[in-house]
Structure 1
Amino acid sequence: MEKLDGFRTCGAHVAVFNVPMAGHVVPTLGLVRELVERGHRVSYAVTAEFASQVRAVGAEPVLYEVPPQDEAPEDMAQGVTRVLGVNLGALPQLEAAFAEDRPDVVLYDVYAWTGPLLAARWDVPVVQLAPTHIPYDGLVQEFFGLEDISAIPGFPQLAQALASFGVPGGVHALTLAPPRCIAFFPESFQRRARTVRAGEAHWVGPLIGDRSFQGSWRAPAGGGTVVYVSLGSQFNRRPDFYRTCVEALAGPGRHLVLSVGAEVAAAGLGPLPEGVEVHAHVPQMDVLAAASVFVTHGGMGSVMEALSVGVPMVVVPQMAEQRVNATQVRELGLGVHLPREEATARALREAVTAVAGDEDIAASLAGMRCRIEEAGGAVAAAQVVEKVLADRPMSTR
């Protein structure tokens, strides 16, 4: 796509709407930084816990408040219904915040429906930001266990809101056929890519820029082969699983790093052998850069970060979306899928040993790294946004 230098020098007001989940916010930050560096002003609607990350990439946080949240439910239909409640609660807050500062374009996460609702009221274009698979034939069944997405509890409320704000097409068009979409992974990882129904689909790969705001980590000298274990930020209250990982993977010649979330870290895992680190959070890219194997829940962000540095994975998914990613990892030869109920100490040990020494997996990882580099990254994503801005009707400029 050609660069739109003439338009870019004018600058624009870009509004990003997101949900308060790390796996949805972090993938967008590289795009935000690129847009800011191109001279655009970016306002980012999110909760206070992500404000420092948003500021670190040059955007201005526009904060909304949500009630305290427990761990997300594993059932995705229930989870989406809860996220809908977050959206509806944030809607009047964000409408007021942007009342005197209407953006020129709205970028919105797949679950941040405040974005398209307000964009319809403002009559400005939208671009969906996808940290997970763009809807494909079978997604509703594989993600939600339903035959039709309208059966998600709470979606009647969403349908009413869409009608009230003048968003065309109802829940089916909004959720299954977005007009244009930027996906933060390569097309080769997209589930059933040929069945995607988005008007425009741009798979730009993961946008992994400066992560200094996450701190730093370095492998200890002489510590042995690094194995990294993390279940991400949403489904990490699994102390028994972490203890099983220690039992399976700690030992001479190996350095084990576990990222377990604040709650488990505060409670502790009991006595630990030498060569085991337990943290609430780690700068994941630093650890992956040193790791020989990643034992992961299979969230798309974590999978893409591992693939970007060529680390094989043992995927132990905690919910349906992650099981889809685990299927892709297995089918593309990038690691193994170990179902949670089968993740014994012996199975974990055997899986980690197998993927670490598999030449076919190493070759598949090398090929995927090439496809990630070819996807275009932050520059390609920013060019999509600028093309949308350039194509706006004159009356909305």
Structure 2
Amino acid sequence: MRVLSTVTGSQGHARAVLPMVRALAKAGHEVLVILPTHLADVYAECGAQVEPIMPDFIDSMKELRSMRDALDPEIFGSGEEIDTRMQMIGFAAGPHVSSAYHVILERAREFKPDIILRDGGELAGCLVAEKLGLPHISAPSGAGNLVDPDGVAQLLNQRRAELGLPQQDDKWSIYRYGRISCLPHAYNFAAFDLPAPFEYAQPLSVDGTETLPPEYANLSGDKPIVLASVGTSLPVVLAMQMMGIPLPDGMAAPADTLRSIIGGLSLLDCHGIVSSGGLPTDDMNAGAHVQVADWVPQPLLLQCSQVFLTHGGYNSIREGMRAGVPMAVLPQYSDQHHNAARVAELGLGVHVTDVSAEGIAVACRQLMTDEKIIANARAAQRRILGLPGMSGVITHLEKLAAAGAV
């Protein structure tokens, strides 16, 4: 089977697709990944052919920002109505999709794939599949959870008109061959009514070779471990800010958020571990019991953590649920606010609304002793562990590819 995978956005988007790409390559399938340059490192030594030829993510964001001044009110509303839903529609189906389409189509004609596996927020691959008569399917995606099929269908038809593709009346056209999820239906994070997905349990680690570093493995057992992570998107946002692109609406400066996180863990009686994502921390005073690192093996650390303080990215949420760890969610932008509300609704943690160091400490302290939330987190973990493994995903893709387009 020849699989073309299309990925855009942040590292979180790339990491959601990576386990499937690795597994497909290991199973002997030929895989080509097309992505932007800034995501190429994520796929190093993945076993697939990787080509960083997709248009740059930051350039795409600039294009979307300029588009907001000329939004179609029939699709987006107007004025203060331009909310997360509308921004996600623009991210999924804005003018940048046409640019990506041409790049992907040229390479796809050479590669001759049997199926296209796209990240949930990447729709150029979907249009290429329509052009070539191929089945296509989306990977788990926080952005995909917030894409309204009704709204995106209208905007995507504008892209089809630009590209000379037939219009689609079916709002489910982007899911004609389904989608993939890492969560049971009872723990669904989709904001809209979407077709039922193929569900599987994501692996604990991507390659199965990671071990816990000594500085974490040798921590004493007399205090709870609180793991905090800003995720992979904050550094991207900081880079955008440095290039003159404004912060997303309502978002605090990344440095201020990280300072509050470090300060909050410093107030707790715990082993604190903070993954800074590479953001500068030289002027931030961490307590003696708080370790700060650019990167940590998050899935492994979650196996021995009692509380997970997360920015609310969908990858991190899934990893926290798979580990059965109560979550304090401190959202920054995009789908993270939706994810925080859903975590609280499911009783798996709390939505942190007081973003001061003291407010963060209060939320984490609650989760150390809240027996109901702890029990809910463990129950969700068991449900996830009951899903098929990666071999089930490969079999599902093989069947779709063999059946061809419909």
TM-score between both structures, scaled by the size of structure 1: 0.80
- Give the drift of 1:269: 3.5
- Give the drift of 1:106: 0.9
316 and 290 in structure 1: CA distance in 2 versus 1, 3 angstrom threshold = same
- The letter of the residue matching 1:77 is M
| Residue in structure 2 matching 1:304, options 311, 318, 322 | 318
1:7-29 CA-partner distances (Å, limit 9, x unpaired): xxxxx101111114221111222
| Residue in structure 2 matching 1:182, options 162, 180, 189 | 180
- Give the drift of 1:167: 6.1
159 and 213 in structure 1: CA distance in 2 versus 1, 3 angstrom threshold = farther
Contact 1:118 1:165 (8 Å CA) reproduced: no
111 and 225 in structure 1: CA distance in 2 versus 1, 3 angstrom threshold = same
- Give the drift of 1:149: 1.6
Give the 3-state SS of the residue equivalent to 1:350 in structure 2: helix
- Give the drift of 1:242: 2.3
| 1:328 partnered with 2:342 | yes
Alignment of 1:44-193 (within 5 A): 44-67=33-56, 69=58, 75=84, 77-78=86-87, 81-82=90-91, 84-132=94-142, 140=148, 149=151, 157-161=158-162, 164-166=164-166, 168-169=168-169, 172-174=171-173, 178-191=176-189
1:178-198 CA-partner distances (Å, limit 9, x unpaired): 4411123222211479x7342
Aligned to 1:3: none
Alignment of 1:232-311 (within 5 A): 232-235=231-234, 237-250=253-266, 253-262=269-278, 264-265=279-280, 268-311=282-325
211 and 35 in structure 1: CA distance in 2 versus 1, 3 angstrom threshold = closer
98 and 68 in structure 1: CA distance in 2 versus 1, 3 angstrom threshold = closer
1:335-392 CA-partner distances (Å, limit 9, x unpaired): 11122xx223332222111111122222212211111111213122222211112222
Aligned to 1:24: 13
TM-score between both structures, scaled by the size of structure 2: 0.78
> Which whole-Å CA distance do the structure 2 matches of 1:324 and 1:356 have between them?
24
Give the 3-state SS of the residue equivalent to 1:330 in structure 2: helix
- The letter of the residue matching 2:304 is A
Contact 2:268 2:361 (8 Å CA) reproduced: no
- Give the drift of 1:42: 0.9
1:273-327 CA-partner distances (Å, limit 9, x unpaired): 3122223332222332332211112111101111111211001122352222222
Mean Cα displacement is larger for which, 103-112 or 64-73? 64-73
Aligned to 1:204: 200
- The letter of the residue matching 2:274 is L
1:230-258 CA-partner distances (Å, limit 9, x unpaired): 23222465222222233322157522222
Mean Cα displacement is larger for which, 299-308 or 72-81? 72-81
71 and 364 in structure 1: CA distance in 2 versus 1, 3 angstrom threshold = farther
Structure 2 unpaired stretches of 5+: 66-82, 236-252
> Which whole-Å CA distance do the structure 2 matches of 1:19 and 1:214 have between them?
26
Give the 3-state SS of the residue equivalent to 1:282 in structure 2: coil
> Which whole-Å CA distance do the structure 2 matches of 1:389 and 1:148 have between them?
27
| 1:366 partnered with 2:378 | yes
Aligned to 2:76: none
55 and 294 in structure 1: CA distance in 2 versus 1, 3 angstrom threshold = same
User: What is the aligned length?
Assistant: 365
Contact 2:184 2:383 (8 Å CA) reproduced: yes
Give the 3-state SS of the residue equivalent to 2:283 in structure 1: coil
| Residue in structure 2 matching 1:384, options 392, 396, 402 | 396
Mean Cα displacement is larger for which, 49-58 or 343-352? 49-58
> Which whole-Å CA distance do the structure 2 matches of 1:108 and 1:93 have between them?
15
Contact 1:230 1:260 (8 Å CA) reproduced: yes
Aligned to 1:9: none
Contact 1:132 1:184 (8 Å CA) reproduced: no
Give the 3-state SS of the residue equivalent to 1:56 in structure 2: coil
Aligned to 1:221: 218
Give the 3-state SS of the residue equivalent to 2:226 in structure 1: strand
Structure 1 unpaired stretches of 5+: 1-11, 141-146
165 and 351 in structure 1: CA distance in 2 versus 1, 3 angstrom threshold = same
- The letter of the residue matching 2:380 is M
Give the 3-state SS of the residue equivalent to 1:96 in structure 2: helix
Give the 3-state SS of the residue equivalent to 2:264 in structure 1: helix
CA RMSD of aligned residues (A): 3.3
Contact 1:16 1:108 (8 Å CA) reproduced: yes
Identity among equivalent pairs (%): 23
> Which whole-Å CA distance do the structure 2 matches of 1:268 and 1:27 have between them?
31
Give the 3-state SS of the residue equivalent to 1:180 in structure 2: coil
Give the 3-state SS of the residue equivalent to 2:335 in structure 1: helix
- Give the drift of 1:70: 8.3
Alignment of 1:31-42 (within 5 A): 31-42=20-31
- Give the drift of 1:212: 6.9
Contact 2:274 2:291 (8 Å CA) reproduced: yes
